[in-house]
Amino acid sequence: MRKDKSNISRRQFLSAAGGSLAAASLGSGLQAAKRDSRPNILLIVTDQESWMDRQTRGLLDMPANRWLYENGTSFSSFYCTTAQCTPARSTIQTGLYPHQTRHVANTNKKYCAHIPEGVEFLGNKMRQAGYFNGYGGKWHLLEPKKRLGVGRVLGGTDDAAQDDYFKRFMKIRDESKPWFYQAHFLNPHDIYHMNYIFEGEELPDPENATKWLKGKIKRVPGEEKRAKRILKRLGDKLSPPPGWDKEIEGIPPAIGDWAYPYGNSGKYKALSRKEKLEYWKKYRALYYSLHEMVDEQIGDLLNVLKEDYPEQFRNTIIIRTADHGDMSGEHESLKYKGPVPFDAQMHIQLILAGPGIPKGKEIEDIASQADLAATICELAGAEKPNEGRSDAESLVKAIKTSKPVGREYVFIEYYFLGAVQPLRIIRSKDYKYAVHYAENKTALFDYSKDPWERNNLSGNPAYSRIENKLKNELIAWQKDMDDPVTTDKYVIQEWKNPRKG
């Protein structure tokens, strides 16, 4: 049985680690000269974790995350390529977009295909560069791990055991080589357990919203108590952002149709506004409690590195990111993730800390999940995977100098065949343009005036120049990336409206 880790040891790591990394950044004379100059890379990936500064700055107790922010470089405008687990994870491992990897849906969907021959993988590039690789945690890709070159696989999806997986890796590694270890945590994905965590309480979700979970739930000790403590602690601060209870004027109808089986029906529709608000407070209490839980587990893993392998710690670049985010009630009835053009599920964090990484730096330039593999490889001196096949760019220059990120736009896609048709999005720092192919409907948001995406400006004459520019840029990108949505390689299926059965 695993013993509980105290907050004291985790916080001791956080206070002591800052000085260790600072010393590493300055170098250590002759001792540094004897050491392999290439850094170790520790990649930490959480599941369904939105960029938390959207609403929660200062609200949550996340010491490991806070330490990384204070002692590293963070990106405040970092976006996933899609808000689905499998497709986003295929981007992390390749630097390609989901339509290029053919992982356009989760592995349980029949239209998720194998990654084509000839695609290069991050793990193999790191191994070829002389790194000793390891992997622990969630996989959720169709391909076997061996093909992707992730190295030694140390454990499965028990987040509380991630520090033990890492301990095993450190014991078996080749000490003559730098190492690349990927720790993929499952949470805060357990937000899908909402109906089970608040068991015994009347919740307005229709049974079909989580019916696939029945018989698969593995309760996490303390999950329910932690969520209820946060509900009591934060109270009204858990309320969704302004306009959460209003439908968006002019939004593509397919979005509302998709939302219907996920809460906007039956019991939920019959609730008063006050009752709906209480529901979303519970939802967000659980979601935020899962953030605190996974941060605690990440702290435990980092503590292993700091306490047991201090020299390795001083030469390790730690990277923390997520596969995608969660809607969290930001738009009426929307939870989890789906084919909708909203930032809550697409805006994620990216933080790097370690030798050569500036401390306390925040980069506001827009960047993409597609850039991550190239960034890791440049930090390691490895060849970048699939160079020239996508618009991915290394972020290293932006991290280490005052030079801007080399992209003006990020591109996001979503497939939901058989229900909601593909979605394509182009986002700049100030605007987002989305095409919903279900009914060829579009959306346009101006973030300088509408940060919570309440006003669809598509078709507004005052924005015609901006909309046309974004539309043309999206079309050009689709052509460059051989996007099958715009070619005869893709057949638009008939739209199936879930309201009609």
More confident call, 362 vs 273: 362
Residue 362, Cβ density class (10 Å: 0-12 exposed, 13-18 middle, ≥19 buried): middle
In the prediction, which pLDDT does 6 show?
36
DSSP 280-319: HHHHHHHHHHHHHHHHHHHHHHHHHHHHH-HHHHHTEEEE
Residue of higher predicted confidence among 115 and 354: 354
Half-sphere exposure of 212 (CA within 13 A, CB side): 3
Residue 21 has pLDDT above 80, yes or no: no
Q: Name the most confidently modeled range: 94-108, 229-243, 326-340, 352-366.
A: 352-366
Q: Tell me what the mean pLDDT of segment 97-122 comes to.
A: 84
pLDDT at residue 191 is higher than 70: yes
The CA-atom distances, in angstroms, between 246 and each of 135, 409, 446 are 43, 29, 18
| The predicted structure's pLDDT at residue 409 | 98
- CA dist 452 and 454 (Å) reads 6
Contacts within 8 Å (CB) and 24+ apart, 447-453: 452/241, 452/242, 452/243, 452/330, 453/248, 453/330, 453/331, 453/341, 453/342, 453/343
Give the three-class secondary structure for 103. coil
Helix intervals (H) in 136-272 = 145-148, 162-172, 194-197, 223-234, 253-259, 266-270
202-227 pLDDT, tens digit per residue, is: 444 433 333 433 444 455 556 677 88
Domains in the chain, start-ordered, CATH in brackets? 40-425 (3.40.720.10)
CB of 331 closer than 8 Å to CB of 453: yes
Supply the pLDDT for residue 251.
61
From CA 94, how far away is CA 114, in angstroms rounded?
13
**Structure confidence at residue 78 as a pLDDT band (50, 70, 90):** very high
On the question of pLDDT at 401 being above 90, the answer is yes
Tell me what pLDDT residue 23 has: 46
User: What pLDDT score was predicted for residue 206?
Assistant: 39
For residue 31, what is the DSSP state? H
Separation of alpha carbons 240 and 36, rounded Å: 49
* Average pLDDT value for the chain: 81
Rounded Cα distance, 372 and 355, in Å = 18
pLDDT value of position 333: 67
The neighbour count for residue 373, using CB atoms within 10 Å, is: 28
Q: Are 398 and 405 in contact (CB under 8 A)?
A: yes
Least confident of 130-144, 316-330, 412-426: 412-426
Please state, for a pLDDT cut of 90, what percent of the chain lies above it: 44
